[in-house]
């Protein structure tokens, strides 16, 4: 499973990238707003840091302007994936930009039918929003499973990018269901290391190291 980091915070991306945990980055207007940075400037900095795809989202809602924005975004770096919303105009922009040879991430996906349309429009990535479905008492994981089945049935090569990941269990369940990629905030990725038995076991080992005065260096 590829790990994308869902943030525009450079330090957090760099820390995970140094550990080999970053296969790409996703941003959106809310994350750019949170960073307080200029979209072009911060996106370029992220692209310089990370080898994999970096999603940068358009701001327009009509296809022509989305395409123009997408063409400007891809000038930032070769690893830009243009992010467009899952609307009819977004699908038109997806088709044009992917025909031009650019990576496109179709975002705000909440149904398997939407994902089917995105694949047919040539999306590189489809981003089903797990957490936001769970928020309204629906089942985000059911959506991942449905998209996996449909894409496999017909051999679509659009990658399923599980998004709106809020917990370590979202990561685990997405991996079990065969999502190609997951994007999560840095805190969720770092929380995956935690286990109370690891802490307990280490405490015992440290006590024995102290008691027996075990030294390696
Ligand atoms: O990857 C999409 C993500 O940024 C949205 O997450 O938690 O705002 O639903 P959330």
Mutate to test the pocket of ligand 1, among 28, 53, 171 (most ligand atoms within 8 A of CB): 28
Pocket of ligand 1 (CB under 6 A): 6, 26, 28, 129, 131-132, 163-164, 166, 183
Is residue 72 flagged as an active site residue? no
Query: How far is the centre of ligand 1, averaged over its atoms, from the C-alpha of 155 (Å)?
Result: 28
Give the mean pLDDT of 94-107.
98
Mutate to test the pocket of ligand 1, among 85, 106, 163, 186 (most ligand atoms within 8 A of CB): 163
Query: How far is the centre of ligand 1, averaged over its atoms, from the C-alpha of 64 (Å)?
Result: 26
Give the separation between CA 16 and CA 217, rounded to whole angstroms: 28
Q: Which of 2, 34, 83, 92 is catalytic?
A: 83
13-27 pLDDT per residue, tens: 999 999 999 999 999
Give the mean pLDDT of 187-214.
98
pLDDT, the chain, mean: 98
Tokens read off for 31: 């994350």
112-128 pLDDT per residue, tens: 999 999 999 999 999 99
Predicted pLDDT at 184: 98
Give the separation between CA 123 and CA 147, rounded to whole angstroms: 13
Predicted pLDDT at 116: 98
The residue whose CA has the least distance to atom 2 of ligand 1 is 164
Predicted pLDDT at 191: 98
């Amino acid at each position: 499973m590829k790990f994308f980091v869902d943030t525009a915070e450079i330090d957090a991306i760099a820390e995970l990238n140094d550990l080999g945990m970053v296969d790409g980055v996703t941003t959106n207007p809310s994350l750019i707003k949170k960073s307080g940075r200029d979209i072009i400037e911060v996106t370029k900095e992220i692209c310089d840091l990370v080898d994999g795809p970096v999603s940068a989202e358009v701001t327009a809602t009509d296809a022509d302007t989305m395409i123009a924005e997408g063409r400007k975004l891809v000038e930032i770096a070769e690893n830009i994936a243009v992010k467009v919303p899952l609307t009819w105009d977004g699908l038109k922009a997806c088709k044009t930009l992917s025909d031009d040879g650019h990576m496109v991430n179709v975002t705000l996906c909440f149904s398997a039918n939407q994902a089917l349309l995105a694949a047919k429009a040539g999306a590189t990535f489809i981003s089903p929003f797990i957490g936001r479905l769970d928020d309204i008492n629906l089942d985000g994981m059911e959506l991942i499973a449905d998209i996996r089945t449909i894409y496999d049935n017909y051999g679509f090569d659009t990658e399923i990018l599980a998004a709106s990941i809020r917990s370590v269990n979202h990561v685990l369940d997405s991996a079990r269901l065969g999502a190609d990629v997951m994007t999560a905030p840095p805190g969720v990725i770092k929380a995956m290391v935690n286990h109370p038995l690891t802490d307990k076991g280490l405490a015992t080992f440290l006590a024995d190291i102290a008691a027996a005065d075990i030294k390696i260096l």
